[in-house]
Amino acid sequence: MNKPKALLLTEGMHGMISQVEGMAKALNTEYSHKIIRLNFPWNLVPPKFTPVSQIVLKDKVYLNEGEIPDLIISCGRKSVIPSILLKKNNPSIFTIHIQNPKVNPKNFDAVVAPMHDEFYGPNVYKSEGAIHYITHEEIQASKSYLADKIKGKKIVSLILGGPNKYYGFNNKQLIEIFDSIKFHYISKGYEVIIVPSFRTPKTIIELAKKEMSKFGYVVESVDKQAYLSAYALATYIIVTCDSISMISEAMASEKPIYVAHMKAKRNNYRFKRFFELFESMGIIKNHILPLDKIWTYKKHNEAVKIALVLKKKIRN
């Protein structure tokens, strides 16, 4: 039996791509990804005030010319209108939107929203944290990738995010995180692996090299294999607080996870709800110190859990 064809719609950000691909894989689809670009001024207008019309789109959004997908899996504000438009023109398409679409959920066949979004509806399915495309098996398969970059077996891996509208990532905050790692880990014989993300500016990578390279290894560019290897090699994982997606992905490692908190620039209530949930589930600790004993938590794969429900709905 042929796999269903899925069209993935996002704005191109790593966290969004991870979520739609995670769902597409869990639904066992053949998928193709389309980056959505909207014409001005619709790229600045909330979806609920945007017309459901081709005029808002810069590009056509089918897999190939004339090919209609079986499913559309979208994530992010800019993907809302093209998903609704394609469904309107082709009612047989099953549409899934991930995250709060900021429009009535009835515009989609299913909405998958994280619990910290507090978004509800009869066709809204709740996930604990962000859905993602990282698997424990992929992490273990990449273990050797950075093995020759590190000498010891006691390793702490720091996953760096970057500035966003909630967190500024100034040098003072970063140096406080680096100093905490030196005091609580390096002093106890640990080595560090530092991995940047798509949002990590070059200046932050350079600061990490200056402060931490003599204590381990700093990956200097975005490298998925290095990212996975850092998880596999780590005894402990530290993730900066700016990315719910990265913290959710770290969960696939099944390793103890600390969140490196920084002062927020604005109300970060969604983040706070997420941190409280994951701490109550025993997945994260909301501090770097003190160095706790290794802890374990229940294995989670939110994409697979929700896909089991959605497969029945798709068949019907």
186 contact partners, CB below 8 Å, separation of at least 6:
192, 215
Which residues of the chain fall short of a pLDDT of 50? none
CATH 3.40.50 for domain 5-133+303-315 = yes
Condensed to tens digits (0 to 9), the pLDDT of residues 165-210 reads: 999 999 999 999 999 999 999 999 999 999 999 999 999 999 999 9
pTM for this entry: 0.88
- Give start-end residues of each CATH 3.40.50.2000 domain in the chain: 136-285
What is the distance between the alpha carbons of residues 168 and 263, in angstroms, rounded to a whole number?
A: 8
Provide the residue type at 215 as one letter: F
Please give the pLDDT value at position 292: 63
Q: Does residue 114 have a cis bond before it (omega within 30 degrees)?
A: no
Q: Which tokens hold the place of 131?
A: 């859905």
Three-state DSSP state, 147: helix
13 contact partners, CB below 8 Å, separation of at least 6:
76, 198
Is residue 82 within 8 A of residue 57, CB to CB? The reply is yes
Condensed to tens digits (0 to 9), the pLDDT of residues 254-286 reads: 999 999 999 999 888 899 999 999 999 999 998
> What is the CATH code for 136-285?
3.40.50.2000
Please give the pLDDT value at position 65: 56
Please give the pLDDT value at position 73: 98
Please give the pLDDT value at position 290: 57
